[in-house]
Chains A and B, each alone.
Chain A
Amino acid sequence: MKPDLPPRLGNALEELRATLDRAAELAKEIEKQPEAAAPSVPELQAQLDDVRSDREELSSKLAEYESQVSRLMNLYVATYQLHATLDPAEVQATIAEIAINLLGAERFVLLFWKTDESGECEIAFSQGMKADQSGLYKEGIYAGGDPAVDATLADGVLRIGPMDGSDVLACVPLTVQGTTVGALVILKLFDHKQSLKPEDRDLLDLLAAHAASALFAARVYSTTDRKLKTLESLVKLVRRQ
């Protein structure tokens, strides 16, 4: 039997009871929830597979990025070093260092068209050519004979071997303002480097674009500097007299 309560108090008790009932229901639901929320073994397995797949993808992307960074770094360092000096001998040494250290070239020659009308190229630099059997590169001169080298010197197009009738692995045109002034001819790689790789193509392109202009600028500077010093000496001599 319900006691007689003032209306406001009765309503409050009703509300309290309703709230308690709801709280009890919520408590029951919460007790049930862990079981309901717990994923099944197959679900967990699927989630684990997803995580593994993501990890593999990230790992492969990381390797790809590292490889790209390495490639870009090589290109940056090569460009920087080519233009870091105005001494022609140092520029030539840098071209050789790029060929040896970054491309893995064991035997190569750096050719430049002679300024006379002979149609021959002077060998500005060579490495490992004592073992060359072709006989095309001797006494500091290349007079033609290798179809790939001749073609590159003529049309200024980069060629990568193997090519018919040629032992050349790569022939890189050296161009200044669109004119081919010479070529870097790679004849052999180190034994531990089986072949030129796709990423080496970037370096070859870089050499084609930058090596000759760097060397040309250095030679012009060197000539101008020499002339300037001669003129200065003459002026001094004249002043003394």
Chain B
Amino acid sequence: MKPKKVLVVDDSKLLHRMFEMMLRGYPLVHAYDGREALDRLAEHKDVDLILLDINMPRMNGLEFLAAVKANAELAKIPVVIITTEGTEDDTQRGLQAGASAYVKKPFRNEELLGVINRLSAGTGTPA
């Protein structure tokens, strides 16, 4: 089982390229800040996983997450926070804000793929 469409929200072009390589076979939607990500979600109703950075211009990851969780339609989409903010407080803040998982940069590819597979299995998303 794998997600139908993954929204990648990060202001780093390098990371977008990395996700393209790592998640071959997963259709990706790209956004470079929280505001753009909300626009992409409005366009792509079939996004069923979000990979989210925290430190971004215009609208940061936590603000975006709050907006997603406040929307009944979007709230069910699992969100994986992927960030350099790595303290225990940061992790708790992210999880309390509604993230399904918290991955610290730099991450190992297999670590992130493991999280995605676990979330996909948990949500029962059809392949």
Chain A residues packing against B (C-beta within 8 Å)? 63, 66-67, 69-70, 73-74, 76-78, 80-81, 84, 93-94, 97-98, 100-104, 106, 190-193
Contact = CB atoms under 8 A, between A and B. Distances in A.
Interface string B58-86: 00000000000000000000000000101
Contacts of A70: 108-110
Contacts of B104: 190, 192
Please classify the interface of chain A as helix (H, G, I), strand (E, B), loop, or mixed, using the class held by over half of its residues.
helix
Given A73-B22, A101-B12, A104-B84, A67 B110 contact: yes
A77 B84 contact: no
B87 interface: yes
Residue with the highest number of chain B CB atoms closer than 10 Å, among A67, A73, A77, A106 = A77
Interface in B9-64: 12-15, 17-18, 21-22
Nearest to A95: B14
Nearest to B15: A101
B61 to A, nearest CB: 14
B57 to A, nearest CB: 13
Nearest to A70: B109
Contacts, number: 61
B18 A100 contact: no
B106 interface: yes
A77 to B, nearest CB: 5
Contacts of B118: none
B105 interface: yes
Given A94-B13, A100-B84, A101-B84, A74 B18 contact: yes
A69 B17 contact: no
Given A73-B22, A77-B21, A190-B84, A97 B14 contact: yes
A188 to B, nearest CB: 12
16 contacts: A67-B110, A73-B18, A73-B109, A77-B14, A77-B17, A77-B18, A77-B21, A78-B14, A81-B13, A100-B12, A101-B12, A101-B15, A101-B18, A101-B105, A101-B106, A102-B106
